[in-house]
Amino acid sequence: NAGVTQTPKFQVLKTGQSMTLQCAQDMNHNSMYWYRQDPGMGLRLIYYSASEGTTDKGEVPNGYNVSRLNKREFSLRLESAAPSQTSVYFCASSRPGSRRGGHGYTFGSGTRLTVV
């Protein structure tokens, strides 16, 4: 199983450009998440989707939009990139009850984004 696949792995954008980060999971998980990792800040939730057709804001949603295209795919869009969005972005998924089941999230390998 591939698990959670993120594309691209690396990207450099100019300020003001737009791009979409792609995420797909093949584990039939209901919930999907986008986090960003910054030095000294840990992992912060940007958006999440509890199920197909629903999305909700996390801790740091400003400057981002998301689309839960179907059960497998959850994309993150930067409409007008800013240097403050330079970060490593992780997508994750979880099955219902996984919190209680102890396995938590399955993460992708990340997208390293630099905005210049």
Pairing status of strand 10-13 against strand 111-115: parallel
- Give the number of C-alpha atoms closer than 13 A to the C-alpha of residue 84, restricted to the C-beta side: 6
Task: Give the closest residue to 114 by CA, choosing from 1, 8, 12, 2.
Answer: 12
User: Which single residue is written with the structure tokens 């996984």?
Assistant: 98
Stretch that binds another protein, among 17-25, 61-69, 71-79, 104-112 (CB under 8 A): 104-112
Outline where the chain has alpha helix (H): 98-101
Which of 25, 85, 87, 94 is in the footprint of another protein by CB under 8 A? 94
Is position 102 an interface residue for another protein (rule: CB under 8 A)? yes
Beta carbon nearer to another protein, 14 or 102:
102
Beta carbon nearer to another protein, 19 or 45:
45
| Binding to another protein in span 28-87, by CB under 8 A | 31, 33, 35, 40-45, 48, 50, 56, 58
Which of 15, 26, 27, 103 is in the footprint of another protein by CB under 8 A? 103
Kind and range of the H or E run holding 98:
helix 98-101
| # residues near another protein by CB under 8 A | 30
Do residues 36 and 43 touch, judged by C-beta distance below 8 A?
yes
Contact residues toward another protein (CB under 8 A) are 4, 31, 33, 35, 40-45, 48, 50, 56, 58, 90, 92, 94, 96, 98-100, 102-110
